[in-house]
Amino acid sequence: MKFALALAALSSLAFTGASKAQTADPSVGRRLAATLCVDCHRIDATTPPKDATSQAPSFVDVARLPSTNELAIKVFLRSSHSQMPNFILTPEEIDSVAAYIVSLAGTKRQEK
């Protein structure tokens, strides 16, 4: 009986672990940004875009816009843009990138 209870507790733990893997993870989002977005965007206070002439806004600045929240970024990444490539990201990746960008809002303003 005790064993069955422990097993139930364990399997519910395993279940939470599994569902957590599918939620937004800012560290995953950061890795995606460092791979996919850094060509054009300054992805944090210290990492400049590879293309120095890029007009794309810094993610720190994006995070600080009053209009920015995770939903707005998710909608943006699911729609198409004239100046930005359309990425094929999974919904989980989109959630993670959005969580990462939003997490930058408290970052000290970067030097331009």
Of 26, 30, 37, 104, which lies in the binding site for ligand HEC, with binding defined by CB under 6 A? 37
- Residue 69's region, left for phi above 0, alpha for psi from -120 to 50, else beta, is beta
Indicate the length of the chain as a whole number: 112
Closest CA to 62 of 15, 103, 27: 103
> 79 near 11, Cβ under 8 Å?
no
In this chain, which of 48, 64, 74, 76 binds ligand HEC, going by CB under 6 A? Answer: 76
Q: What CA–CA distance (Å, rounded) separates 71 from 22?
A: 17
Size of the site for ligand HEC (CB under 6 A): 19
* The binder of ligand HEC chosen from 24, 60, 73, 102 (CB under 6 A): 73
CB of 32 to ligand HEC, least distance (A): 6
Q: Which is nearer to ligand HEC, 45 or 56 (CB)?
A: 56
Contacts with ligand HEC, residue ranges (CB under 6 A): 33, 36-37, 39-41, 55-57, 62, 73, 76-77, 81, 83-85, 87, 97
